[in-house]
Amino acid sequence: MVPEIFIPFHPEDQRPRNGYFIILSGPSGVGKNTLLNRVLQDLSGVYYMPSATTRPMRPGESQLNPYAFVSTEEFEAMIEQGQFLEWKKIHTNAYYGTHLPTIRYAIDNGYDIITDMDVLGCADAMEAFPQHIRTIFITPPSIAELSHRLYGRDSDPVNIEQRLSRAELELKYQDKYDYLIVNDDLDQSAEELKEIIQKIILS
């Protein structure tokens, strides 16, 4: 069953302004989810926004962490019902999409949310909510290091090569983002990300 709103918001986290929709992009394997998991533990009142996807869960993942895992039939029904702000087929033809009712609810009710999205989805989101979106690009110290991280995470070389070839496209968009972090040292990058998010939500 696909939930109506993907996030269990708590009224005490409501801000007296519209919510911010913070988007993190960067090639697959650069460390977006690792960084987000670390930083969100230290930040109260900022919610992770799960996308929906049809790709299989990896070990260590669970429902809504980091995705709402749905079947292709469910995803296609959601497309028909206009439930996505944007959706894309990425990598192995899996669908990924951002749930529009959850985002509208968060922005309208003063909840700050953060998600990760590919560069094309981020461009669509910026067009839809230009005033409420802030964007952060995470870049690897080198392609060799990105490859090393992908091989450390996944054992299927086809999956990895798909992600590496897409990285080229993703990296071309980095100048369009509000903030840029080179994820070399994890502790330092997590600190930078935390500071950026704090700056955004206090602005």
Contacts with ligand 5GP, residue ranges (CB under 6 A): 28, 51, 55, 86, 88, 90-91, 96-98, 116-118, 121
- Answer whether 69's CB lies under 8 Å from 63's CB: yes
Q: Which two tokens stand for residue 128?
A: 């839809």
Measure the CA–CA gap between 127 and 160, rounded to whole angstroms.
31
Identified binder of ligand ADP from the candidate list 2, 3, 13, 34, rule CB under 6 A: 34
> Which of 6, 9, 25, 31 is close enough to bind ligand ADP by CB under 6 A?
31
194 binds ligand ADP (CB under 6 A): no
In the 8-state DSSP scheme, what is residue 65?
Answer: B
Task: Determine if 48 is a binding residue for ligand ADP (CB under 6 A).
Answer: no
What is the side-by-side strand order in the sheet with 84-90?
62-63, 66-69, 51-53, 94-99, 84-90
Best CA proximity match to 86, nearest among 129, 48, 57, 56: 129
Does the footprint of ligand ADP cover residue 28 (CB under 6 A)?
A: yes
Q: Which is nearer to ligand 5GP, 112 or 118 (CB)?
A: 118
Q: What is the dihedral of CA 5, 64, 166, 87, to 10 degrees?
A: -20
17 vs 63, beta carbon nearer ligand 5GP? 63
- Please identify, using beta-carbon distances, which residue of 19 and 31 lies nearer to ligand ADP: 31
Q: Which stretches of the chain bind ligand ADP, using CB under 6 A?
A: 26, 28-34, 149, 152-153, 183, 186, 189
